[in-house]
Structure 1
Amino acid sequence: MKITSDQRYAIAALAKKELCRRSYRDYVEFVHRGHYQHYRHTELICKELQPISDGKQRYIMIEMPPRHGKSMTVTESFPSFFVSKNPDKHVIVASYSDSLARKFGRRNREKVVEFGNDLFGVELSQANAASNNWSLSEHRGGMLSTGIGGSITGEGADLMIIDDPFKNAEEANSKTIRDKVWDEWESTLSTRLHKGASVIVIMTRWHEDDIIGRLLNNSPRKWIRLRLPAIAEDNDDLLNRKPGEALCPELGYDEEWAKNKKVEVGSRTWAALFQQRPSPESGNIFNRKWWNYYKSLPGSFEEIVES
């Protein structure tokens, strides 16, 4: 039997949709309609998120430099896939501001409206369709988006996503705000997790005592840590990069860019913001409190160090 070109196209389209129903890697590319491209690090992230959508409980930390597609790959897209595939499950997303969280909710709602019925046979509820709080028609599942400290009373989560809980370096360097974010996790967000719920914390690091630093030191959960520095530093890099190799040169963030950016922002900001390796403000190797100052020099020195 001869297959026409129209039939081949229809078969290919059906196959693509089936892939998108099963694979988050294919879904995230499909729902952005040509405005999304995978790179090595986004492939890795999708691979690690896939088991969550398939029903496995996971705790994942994703540490990435700015402008490398972390929110587009995760927070703007994964909730719509997770809920559409598991229509009785619920997602809570928290970020540093209510407006940013609302944007995450809106982006996922748009994907459900456009692709939910065609790919998964689900539709948005007309009775509950706000950008920051929406649910699926004839199902219990949905998504709630809130700023840190916002009200989630009575809500529970099968998937919790915390995306950039600090707005900038000023907030991250404030112990008061770091304590506020941690208290929000301990007293509110973590108490909303249903049995078997998964958690994703995704952020650019600013401070060693941020929420990821505290979770690493205090959380009893078994975290999968995806630390993706702008420039590879270790021989056991998650992407098998050689030391000195850039994370995503395809976006223009190559080794030359890194060299110039490090000079521009300074070594401490570079280590934290781009390498996801924040160091204590007092010094990581030489602590400031060790240094003494003299109005008049001693008569002799046992040792002189110059740098």
Structure 2
Amino acid sequence: MRPLPLPSMDIAHVLARTEFVVFVELVFRYLNPTTPFSRAWYIEAMASALMDVADGSERRLQITVPPRHLKSIMVSVAYPAWLLGRKPETRIICASYGQDFAAILSRSFRKVIQSDWYAQIFPETASSIIRDTEVDVGTRQGGYRFATAVGGTVTGIGADLIIIDDLMKAQDAASAELRAKAQRFVDEALMTRLDKKKTGAVIAIQQRLHEDDVSAHLSAKGAYRHLNLPAIAVTDEIIPLSRGRTHVRRIGDILNPEREPLEVLEELRRDIGTRGFEAQYQQNPSPQEGDYIRWEKVQFYETPPPRERLEKVVHSWDLASSCEPKAAYSVGSVWGFDGASWLLLDVVRARLTYPDLLDRVRAERSKWQADVILVENASVGHALVPQLMKDFRGEGERRHHAVQCRPYAIKPRLGKADRFYASVEPLYTGACKLPRSAPWLDVLRQEMLTFPASTYDDQVDSVSQFIAWSQGRRVDALLNPGSRREPRRRD
């Protein structure tokens, strides 16, 4: 006789012991009985990343996600309950921005582990609770979930896992003193609590609030896997899910289109302002002035065509005069015309002395078989352009001759900010396009989004210089030689 199938809830209980995402759903339904649960792909992505920490394949994890996307229930409530259910000896410290918020999360955690359904899934742990206070729940096996907040004490408390859940409130992010206090709390209080430094794990889940917030502080350490989930995708990604599955996310995809479709997000942008929206929802805490470009409106191309399929190639150089470690960069952007649009093919960004810079410009010219080189008529550009003109005229050393490549000295008519502001429209219309993926794209995007308050603006200058030129009369003569005489004027 075949056994009868288990009731669905019993099946869920069995799965919840090994599948964290199933356990999360049970926790959510229990704490929010009147609210429907939607197992969106990003929930599975976060659950998969957390399971990687549980099995030891990851030791440092950072998740950035917009508000009200289940992050605290998932990481500060469900995850400690699941870990203690599987291993009641696990010692966990959960840290938040304030003691009141830490207590709210602790009460939700206690409610879960005191429930009948939790006892059915993890009977050993449920029967092992010997200590149960608002901030500290412990088992007889020596495990616990200890709740604290910035400035709170953790003296004498060791941990196998530290969970950092929003160490700052949005209204405090503008304070350099409070940002530094939160960072010191991480470094001097929390990180010292890991008993086994080789195996101890740290999970940080938060929304971005400032370019110098705790998330940036952790990222600078270089050891954290970062699962970044902006409300509107700004890059193409393949994001791991559980059981070997993946989710393909394209630029412009909405994180949760059922609950927060694009029109709702645009209303939020208007309500809280571009800066607040970019930080909390896009995980891009740009400086106050960084409102010059809307990345989701930029047009992209898929695959760069080979050189022989491009009608023309133009290089745009913004040059620096120093190679010191903190000096500005020399940047060259490479653009190719495919018959319909100018495509950004490459970005060269380096600190070089003048002789090395001249060699690099010549090497890139040869590599791309460039037709035009644009050089800002400033700084070392005054020396570079005459050298490139000699190459164009076939003078000097034969190996440097480049009679097919005309250099132009560009004298800007507008200031940096006005030039960049005027250059974004061709990126929206598709007259100029960026690649969907490139090794240098993230750095370029960050600089463009935070301009003019970004640390460096050399890439912005190179791009806006080219786009301004591409909209002028000289480009007609380049693309349609013989159609009319090239005007005799300065760029």
TM-score, with structure 2 as normaliser? 0.54
Structure 1 range deviating more: 15-24 or 155-164 = 15-24
1:283, distance to aligned residue in structure 2 (A): 4.8
Query: How many pairs are equivalent?
Result: 284
Deviations 1:205-259 (A, max 9, x none): 1101001111212x25x211011111011123644222222110121x1111122
Determine the C-alpha separation between the residues in 1 that align with 2:129 and 2:60: 32
**1:138-159 Cα distance to aligned partner (Å, 9 max, x none):** 3111100111111111001111
Shift of 1:172: 0.9
Cα offset, 1:127, TM superposition: 4.4
Per-residue deviation, residues 7-57 of structure 1 (Å, max 9, x unmatched): 4345x5543322111110111112333653311111100011112233444
Confirm or deny: 8 A CA contact 1:124 1:134 kept in the other structure: no
Residue equivalent to 1:23: 19
Partner of 2:144: 142
- Alignment match, 1:209: 212
**273 and 16 in structure 1: CA distance in 2 versus 1, 3 angstrom threshold:** closer
| Structure 1 range deviating more: 28-37 or 90-99 | 28-37
Q: Which amino acid aligns with 2:24?
A: V
Relative contact order, higher structure (CA 8 A, sep 6+): 1
Equivalent of residue 126 in structure 2, options 98, 104, 123: 123
Q: Determine which structure has more spread, i.e. the larger CA radius of gyration.
A: 2
Distance 2:413 2:62 in 1: 44
Matches within 5 A, 1:17-56: 17-33=13-29, 35=35, 36-56=37-57
Q: What is the CA-CA distance between 1:73 and the residue it aligns to?
A: 2.0
Percent identity reads 30
Larger deviation, residues 41-50 vs 102-111: 102-111
What letter corresponds to residue 204 of structure 1 in structure 2? Answer: Q
Aligned counterparts of 2:113 and 2:168: Cα–Cα separation in 1: 28
Deviation at 1:58, TM superposition (A): 2.0
Secondary structure of 2:248 counterpart: coil
2:244 is the alignment partner of 1:243: no
Amino acid at match of 2:152: G
The corresponding residue for 1:166 is 168
* SS of corresponding position for 2:266: helix
Q: Which runs of 5+ in 2 are unaligned?
A: 240-246, 294-410, 422-491
Change (3 A) 1:116 1:263: closer
Aligned-partner residue type, residue 413 of structure 2: E
1:64 matches 2:54:
no
Partner SS, residue 270 of structure 1: helix
Question: Is the contact made by 1:231 and 1:247 (CA closer than 8 Å) also made in structure 2?
Answer: yes
Paired amino acid for 1:77: A
For residues 238 and 58 of structure 2, what CA distance do their matches in structure 1 show? Answer: 25
Task: Kindly report which structure 2 residues correspond to 1:190-205, keeping only aligned pairs within 5 A, or say none.
Answer: 190-195=191-196, 196-205=199-208
Query: Residue 282 of structure 1: CA displacement?
Result: 6.0
2:272 corresponds in structure 1 to: 265
Deviations 1:73-104 (A, max 9, x none): 22121111011111111110111110111111
Q: Structure 1 residues 116 and 284, CA, compared in 2 at 3 Å: closer, same or farther? A: same
Aligned equivalents of 2:266 and 2:250: distance in 1? 16
Give the drift of 1:284.
8.4
Does the aligned pair in 2 maintain the 1:53–1:81 contact within 8 Å?
A: no
**Would the alpha carbon gap of residues 144 and 57 (structure 1) be closer, same or farther in structure 2, given more than 3 Å must change?**
same
Aligned residue identity for 2:287: P
RMSD over equivalenced CA pairs, Å: 2.4
Structure 2 residue aligned with 1:303: 413
SS of residue paired to 1:22: coil
